[in-house]
Amino acid sequence: MKDPAFLFKPDEWFTPNTYNRNFKCPPKKSGVYLLVKPIYDLNKANFQILYVGSTSCLEKRYKNHEVLRKLQIEHDYIQFYFKETENYIDLEKELIKKIQPKYNKQWR
């Protein structure tokens, strides 16, 4: 069941978006990442997490991610957010259970 208490806080993640204050190039380290669609309202920005993934090399996954390319075609703008972590597989599973993103195969 989707966790209604889960709240995505972009300030807690890094992104290769140069316009973001948490700018950082994805490193050659393991971690988890989110593919996020920003939804702008008149008063604030909301975020729809479309996909959760993990990898042993964030830099490589960011440069060659098939789902990211497909989502960028389907949606106006998709943002890549990431966190470095050694237990990336466990964190990915936990986030998928909490968020239940639309494009993870487990929830189709």
Residue 48 maps to a domain: yes
The answer to whether position 3 is within a domain reads: no
Sequential pLDDT tens for the chain (108 residues): 677 668 889 889 999 987 878 899 999 999 999 999 988 777 777 899 999 999 999 999 999 998 999 998 998 889 999 999 999 999 999 999 999 999 997 554
Query: Is 53 within the bounds of a domain?
Result: yes
Q: What is the pTM of this model?
A: 0.88
Does residue 89 lie in a domain region? yes
Give the range of the structural domain holding residue 30, as residue numbers without chain letter: 10-107
Per the structure, the count of domains in the chain is: 1
Distances in Å between the alpha carbon of 65 and those of 7, 43, 61, 78, 102? 25, 32, 5, 12, 17
The CATH code of the domain that includes 73 is 3.40.1440.10
Report pLDDT for 108: 47
Distance CA 108, CA 104 (A): 7
Residue 63, both tokens: 């440069």
Question: What's the confidence (pLDDT) of residue 106?
Answer: 56
1 occurs within a structural domain: no
With respect to residue 90, please indicate whether it lies within any of the assigned structural domains. Answer: yes
